[in-house]
Amino acid sequence: MSTPETSQFVRIRVELVLEIGDADAVAKAALARIAEDPAMPADERAQAESAVTEDTAEAIAYLVDPFDLVSEVPGTELAQASWSSEPTDYDPDSPEWDLDEDDADEGDEEDVRG
């Protein structure tokens, strides 16, 4: 299965586009997540609360955690993760949003659509 030349690390690249139907619900959920974090200092908490109420993309960043995606995968440990969120114009018919374009050269990736 694994040879000495094979790396133990796997990079997973995921790009998601979410449609926000209720920005207030997203902000409230992010505020609840922030309130539940006992390790967050008070000054950082106030800044985070302000950010998530002013910017839905910031609220999403507080709610989506890469650790949650892989925490129950047996035999693995998350070594590093980074993520960001930003508002975007989305046109599913635009070639710019073709999720399969990178897959032509990289046979190890899998496109999952719901």
Taking only Cα atoms into account, the Rg of the chain, rounded to an integer number of angstroms, comes to: 18
Token match 């897959």: residue?
A: 103
Burial of 32 from C-beta contacts in 10 A (0-12 / 13-18 / 19+): exposed
Give the least confident one: 16-30, 57-71, 95-109: 95-109
Structure tokens at 34: 């922030």
Model confidence at 95, pLDDT cuts 50, 70, 90, reads confident
**Would residue 14 count as lying in a domain?**
no
Q: For residue 63, what is the enclosing H or E element?
A: helix 56-63
Domain count for the chain, please give it.
1
Whether the predicted pLDDT of 101 surpasses 70: no
Asked if residue 9 is part of any domain, the answer here is no
> Range of 74's domain?
23-104
Answer yes or no: is 11 within a domain: no
pLDDT-derived band at 99 (thresholds 50, 70, 90) equals: low
pTM for the whole structure? 0.70
Distance of CA 20 to the CA centre of its chain: 15
Q: Is residue 32 part of a domain?
A: yes
For the chain, what percent of residues have pLDDT higher than 90?
54
| 80 within some domain | yes
Q: Would you say residue 4 lies in a domain?
A: no
